Amino acid sequence: SSIMPGKVNPVIPEVINQVAFLIIGNDMTVTMAAEGGQLELNAFEPIIFYCLFQSIGTLTYAVHTFVDNCVTGITANEERCRELVESSVGVITALTPHI
């Protein structure tokens, strides 16, 4: 809940999910429209192009939003990463040939 002090809701990643849902829907529309075309003329080309361009535009905007407001500034906590690796059972795999 956003009423909790210090809590930040992940709205930008949630937007990316919504964009993915839109694009998946557009992909289904394009698929059905392409299947509906007969002979050498596809009367459904307008909806194919509309969905294609909508998907490209929306995804472009979403990626810029995601990078600018979510990804930029993220850095690795090297000390914490080292602690996690050193306490992981996965280290055993590297030691197995030497044991």
| pTM of this structure | 0.71
At 24, the pLDDT band (50, 70, 90 cuts) reads: very high
Q: Torsions phi, psi of 12, nearest 5?
A: -70, -50
List pLDDT tens digits, range 56-91. Answer: 999 999 999 999 999 999 999 999 999 998 888 887
pLDDT of residue 13: 93
Residue of 1, 2, 55, 88 with catalytic role:
1
- Please provide the distance, in angstroms rounded to a whole number, between the alpha carbons at the two ends of the chain: 50
Which CA distances in Å does 53 have to 24, 56, 66, 93?
A: 14, 5, 20, 48
Residues 6+ apart with CB under 8 A from 91: 85
Q: Is the pLDDT of residue 50 over 90?
A: yes
Phi, psi of 38 (to 5 degrees): -125, 155
Q: Does 88 qualify as catalytic in the annotation?
A: no
Q: What is the pLDDT of residue 22?
A: 98
